[in-house]
């Protein structure tokens, strides 16, 4: 029997599905994943079909009004994944549906771009006589005809541009029956027309081969599992993904490769396109809506089998799916910061399970979560211990800034050792990267007379002084203020405002002063605002037009410059001092990644880490890229503190402009929830979040910690559905929160 009832999730935020009757006329067209129009109260709504049934428990169903043209946007597996996300991340179901479908595909009227196109008409076999006549009477039409014979098909616009033929001219050719003129699909191509040279796969090194075998073994399993690929930077992890993707293609399946947004450089794309050509589709945030729509549809149609993209590319409609690779799996960028607050790495594992496809997670510094899973045998572990071509790992030297500042009689930005090392590179024509994870010039603008510090009016943070603009900037909300000549405290007003604390601009200034002959460039989000400046700076660096590149974490990740032989970390302590339980983990990751930038070519690299806490485990372990030691020490801490991954953390944040209302709401929510929680779940707070106020909104949060999220998420989800938030207060549930910030 054909189903008579459809279950619909509307695009209204109700976190509920509704049943509708399928009118006779529409039966057969209504299927899972199709977009429909339905009456809703006195309005109409758009929705997606999430279920079909023969009857409904509800009486008096309304009829579906229309089925929107276009393909089904998801299948049963993706629907199941969306349901799982909503449940697991305690998020409204429609937000999970929105997450799996790009807006460019989901929105009303999303379609291919059509343009008038000309093609040789079927059966058109004009004789030579006609052509000769045409050439005399209308040379432009003749030129267009000749060109079209070469191309077979071409848009009218392009033909006009090339041959000067007018639309009337083309119409006249169409009238003769030589060509057909009708709207055709024009693919919006995000690769532009950049040709990429095809590459062939290199023979794999021994460790790579073993790793590939581990992945292939999972691919062959009936219920494929997860491989954690732990490989030092430059050990050839990407080459393993490429080989595994090839294996998926050979098996008649497709693959998805996720990379952090910041690593989606033209370089990365070229590697995939070079190996797999036109079957590669990209999905990331810099595409236009049109490009994203077309790429998505190309994947859905099976024309593109390999998808490379950031977080949301995980939901690409690759079918059948043979492999998901998640590069830099530890990256916080995989966590979405709006509902559903999913971690693409974890959802990848779940999608793999549901689709029956293998998943490979790769990193030089795996998350404690993944490494623990590997230790416990839940994931298969593959290791790459050596750099390709036996290049040596760079030597890491820790510079104790306490001793340095004692010797030099005060704190210096650049230690003697670092200055010497840079000088040596300059003299040898080699390149240097200097790294500091904070932009701006000075991080504190203070009156030395009364201690008044310039803070943002809307956020609970200090203003940062930017020298290039001579303005103060709030790094949370972007508020810009004039730098005061006198103290802003009305009772003080003293002159001589003091700037302290370092940012990349100050490092840049110091380097320019110290090495006036060097070509210095800074790269952080202040210098890369314009669309292509990021790529432009990296291009100049690659060509050797820059001697010293100063930057934030932007320069720390995934970049491969053979001529960089020195990396300096200006202050390792910055990330260690973050008020967060992952501070050590993040520091270790950062130092290891940064160190990985040095010595990618023939000359061995050197890394200098300046720090005031030289004996911190995160600093010490990074000296030898000694992940296992770091893991053992850190996991013990987490065990004692009962923090992730030993227990699962969820934060629930309340935001609003009215401080009292936010506090009261958080308190009531937490109290009511607490009654519904099992005893072994800890609820801590509510208390002001570390960032107490941002963009004018007060932020109060509580934490939940339990052995598994299943211990408390169901209760939490019930509460979020039942609790009526007061006007002006919003809630953000973050299951498996990565930090307490
Ligand atoms: P990772 O992803 O671990 O940082 P890559 O896969 O980018 O490492 O490899 C580092 C460099 O070594 C790249 O330039 C890559 O082309 C090269 N490479 C990787 N594997 C091989 C191999 N088996 N033979 C030759 N070159 C390789
Ligand atoms: Zn602000």
CA-to-CA dists, residue 154 to 130, 148, 295, 727, angstroms: 22, 7, 21, 56
Q: What value does the mean pLDDT take over residues 631-640?
A: 93
Nearest to 330 by CA among 601, 557, 549, 30: 557
194 pLDDT exceeds 70?
no
pLDDT band with cut points at 50, 70 and 90 for residue 557: low
Among the ranges given (105-119, 166-180, 242-256, 648-662), the one the predictor scored with the smallest mean pLDDT: 105-119
388 pLDDT exceeds 90?
no
Task: Note the pLDDT of residue 182.
Answer: 77
pLDDT band with cut points at 50, 70 and 90 for residue 475: confident
Q: Tell me the best of 206, 207, 230, 236 to mutate to test the pocket of ligand 1, counting ligand atoms within 8 Å of each CB and taking the most.
A: 236
Please return the burial class of 156, using the count of CB atoms within 10 Å of its CB with bins 0-12, 13-18 and 19+.
buried
Helix 713-722, helix 76-88: angle, nearest 10: 90
With a CB cutoff of 8 Å and minimum separation 6, the contacts of 611 are 398, 399, 400, 401, 569, 571, 572, 573, 619
Task: Note the pLDDT of residue 150.
Answer: 78
pLDDT band with cut points at 50, 70 and 90 for residue 562: confident
Average pLDDT, the chain: 89
User: Whole-angstrom Cα distance, residue 87 to residue 293?
Assistant: 28
DSSP one-letter string for 445-470 = EE-TTT--B-B-SSSSSBPEEETTTT
Q: What value does the mean pLDDT take over residues 57-63?
A: 89
pLDDT band with cut points at 50, 70 and 90 for residue 10: confident
pLDDT band with cut points at 50, 70 and 90 for residue 79: very high
Nearest alpha carbon, ligand 1 atom 20: 236
Task: Note the pLDDT of residue 125.
Answer: 61
CA of 158 from ligand 2 middle (Å) equals 49
User: Whole-angstrom Cα distance, residue 688 to residue 693?
Assistant: 9
Q: What value does the mean pLDDT take over residues 525-554?
A: 83
Q: Tell me the best of 239, 258, 366 to mutate to test the pocket of ligand 1, counting ligand atoms within 8 Å of each CB and taking the most.
A: 239
CB pairs under 8 A, 24+ apart, for 209-213? 210/382, 211/240, 211/382, 211/383, 211/384, 212/240, 212/243, 212/244, 212/247
pLDDT band with cut points at 50, 70 and 90 for residue 126: low
Nearest alpha carbon, ligand 1 atom 6: 236
Task: Note the pLDDT of residue 78.
Answer: 97
CA-to-CA dists, residue 24 to 3, 5, 267, angstroms: 10, 11, 54
CA of 297 from ligand 1 middle (Å) equals 32
CA of 504 from ligand 2 middle (Å) equals 20
* Residues comprising the chain, all counted: 741
User: Which residues have any ligand 1 atom within 6 Å of their CB?
Assistant: 202, 204-205, 208, 231, 233-239, 388
Among the ranges given (114-123, 375-384, 496-505, 658-667), the one the predictor scored with the smallest mean pLDDT: 114-123
Contact 699, 688 (CB under 8 A): yes
CA-to-CA dists, residue 697 to 175, 459, 734, angstroms: 66, 8, 18
In the chain, % of residues over pLDDT 90: 56
422 pLDDT exceeds 60?
yes
Nearest alpha carbon, ligand 1 atom 4: 234
Helix 76-88, helix 344-355: angle, nearest 10: 140
Pairwise pLDDT comparison (278 vs 683), residue with the higher score: 683
Task: Note the pLDDT of residue 187.
Answer: 65
Among the ranges given (396-400, 545-549, 575-579), the one the predictor scored with the smallest mean pLDDT: 575-579
Q: Tell me the best of 211, 365, 388, 564 to mutate to test the pocket of ligand 1, counting ligand atoms within 8 Å of each CB and taking the most.
A: 388
Nearest alpha carbon, ligand 1 atom 5: 236
Please compute Rg for the chain using Cα positions: 30
Q: What value does the mean pLDDT take over residues 308-314?
A: 95
Relative to the alpha carbon of 458, which ligand is closest? Answer: 2
Task: Note the pLDDT of residue 694.
Answer: 94
Highest mean pLDDT: which range of 269-278, 534-543, 551-560: 269-278
CA of 527 from ligand 2 middle (Å) equals 20
528 pLDDT exceeds 80?
no
Nearest alpha carbon, ligand 1 atom 19: 236
CA of 116 from ligand 2 middle (Å) equals 50
CA of 268 from ligand 1 middle (Å) equals 12
CA of 238 from ligand 1 middle (Å) equals 7
Task: Note the pLDDT of residue 155.
Answer: 76
258 pLDDT exceeds 60?
yes
User: Whole-angstrom Cα distance, residue 52 to residue 31?
Assistant: 7
Contact 397, 622 (CB under 8 A): no
20 pLDDT exceeds 60?
yes
pLDDT tens digits, 323-369: 999 999 999 999 999 999 999 999 999 999 999 999 999 999 999 99
Relative to the alpha carbon of 239, which ligand is closest? Answer: 1
Nearest to 472 by CA among 493, 448, 492, 443: 443
**Helical spans, DSSP H, in 1-120:** 76-88, 93-100, 103-106
128 pLDDT exceeds 60?
no
419 pLDDT exceeds 90?
yes
Q: What value does the mean pLDDT take over residues 691-699?
A: 94
Query: Which atom of ligand 1 lies at the shortest distance from residue 208's CA?
Result: 23
Q: What value does the mean pLDDT take over residues 651-676?
A: 96
User: Whole-angstrom Cα distance, residue 181 to residue 170?
Assistant: 8
CA of 418 from ligand 1 middle (Å) equals 29
């Amino acid at each position: 029997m054909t189903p008579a009832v459809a279950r619909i999730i509307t695009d209204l935020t109700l976190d509920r599905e509704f049943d509708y009757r399928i009118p006779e006329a529409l039966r057969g067209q209504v299927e899972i994943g199709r977009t429909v129009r339905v009456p809703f109260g006195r309005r109409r709504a758009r929705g997606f079909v999430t279920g079909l049934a023969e009857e409904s428990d509800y009486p008096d169903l309304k009829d579906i009004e229309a089925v929107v043209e276009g393909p089904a946007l998801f299948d049963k597996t993706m629907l199941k994944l969306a349901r799982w996300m909503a449940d697991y991340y305690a998020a409204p179901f429609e937000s999970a549906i929105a997450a799996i479908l790009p807006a460019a595909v989901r929105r009303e009227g999303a379609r291919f771009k059509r343009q008038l196109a000309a093609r040789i008409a079927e059966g058109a076999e004009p004789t030579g006589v006609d052509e000769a006549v045409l050439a005399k009477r209308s040379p432009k039409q003749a030129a267009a005809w000749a060109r079209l014979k070469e191309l077979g098909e071409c848009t009218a616009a392009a033909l006009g541009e090339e041959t000067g033929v007018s639309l009337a001219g083309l119409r006249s050719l169409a009238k003769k029956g030589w060509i057909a003129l009708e709207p055709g699909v024009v693919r919006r191509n995000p690769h532009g027309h950049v040709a990429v040279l095809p590459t062939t796969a290199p023979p794999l090194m021994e460790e790579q081969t073993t790793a590939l075998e581990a992945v292939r073994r999972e691919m062959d399993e009936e219920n494929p599992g997860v491989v954690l690929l732990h490989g030092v930077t430059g050990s050839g992890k990407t080459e393993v993904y490429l080989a595994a993707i090839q294996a998926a293609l050979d098996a008649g399946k497709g693959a998805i490769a996720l990379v952090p947004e910041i690593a989606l450089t033209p370089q990365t794309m070229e590697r995939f396109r070079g190996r797999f050509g036109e079957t590669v589709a990209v999905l990331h945030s810099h595409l236009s809506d049109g490009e994203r729509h077309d790429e998505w549809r190309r994947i859905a149609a099976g024309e593109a089998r390999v998808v490379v993209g950031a977080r949301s590319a995980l939901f690409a409609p690759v079918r059948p799916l043979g492999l998901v690779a998640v590069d830099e799996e530890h990256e916080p960028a995989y966590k979405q910061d709006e509902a559903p607050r999913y971690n693409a790495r974890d959802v990848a594992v779940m999608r793999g399970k549901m689709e029956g496809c293998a998943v490979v997670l790769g990193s030089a510094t795996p998350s404690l979560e993944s490494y623990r899973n590997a230790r416990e045998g839940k994931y298969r572990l593959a290791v790459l211990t050596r750099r390709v071509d036996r290049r040596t790992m760079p030597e890491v030297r820790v510079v104790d800034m306490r001793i340095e500042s004692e010797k030099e009689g005060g704190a210096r930005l650049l230690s003697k050792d670092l200055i010497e090392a840079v000088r040596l590179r300059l003299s040898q024509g080699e390149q240097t990267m200097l790294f500091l994870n904070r932009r701006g010039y000075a991080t504190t603008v203070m009156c030395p007379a009364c201690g008044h510090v310039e803070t943002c009016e809307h956020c609970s943070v200090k203003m940062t002084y930017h020298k290039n603009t001579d303005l103060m900037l709030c790094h949370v909300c972007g508020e810009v203020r004039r730098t005061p000549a006198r103290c802003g405290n009305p009772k003080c007003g003293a002159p001589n405002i003091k700037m302290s604390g370092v940012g990349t601009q100050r490092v840049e200034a110091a380097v320019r002063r110290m090495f006036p002959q060097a070509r210095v460039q800074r790269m952080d989000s202040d210098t890369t605002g314009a669309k292509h400046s990021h790529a432009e700076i990296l291009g100049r660096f690659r060509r050797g037009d820059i001697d010293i590149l100063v930057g934030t974490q932007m320069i720390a990740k995934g970049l491969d410059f053979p001529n960089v032989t020195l990396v300096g970390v200006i202050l390792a302590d910055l990330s260690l001092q973050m008020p967060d339980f992952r501070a050590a983990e993040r520091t270790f990751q950062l130092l290891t990644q940064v160190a990985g930038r040095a010595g990618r070519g023939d000359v061995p690299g050197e890394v200098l880490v300046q720090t005031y806490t030289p004996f911190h485990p995160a600093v010490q372990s990074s000296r030898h890229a000694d992940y296992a030691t770091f893991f053992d020490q850190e996991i013990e801490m987490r065990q004692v503190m009962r923090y992730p991954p030993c227990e699962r953390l969820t934060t629930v944040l309340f935001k609003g402009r009215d401080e009292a209302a936010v506090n009261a709401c958080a308190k009531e929510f937490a109290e009511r929830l607490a009654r519904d929680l099992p005893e072994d779940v800890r609820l801590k707070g509510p208390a002001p979040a570390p960032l107490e106020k941002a963009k004018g909104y007060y932020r109060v949060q509580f934490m939940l910690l339990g052995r598994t999220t299943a211990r408390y998420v169901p209760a939490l989800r019930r509460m979020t559905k039942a609790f009526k938030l007061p006007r002006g207060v919003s809630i953000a549930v973050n299951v498996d929160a990565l930090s307490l910030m």
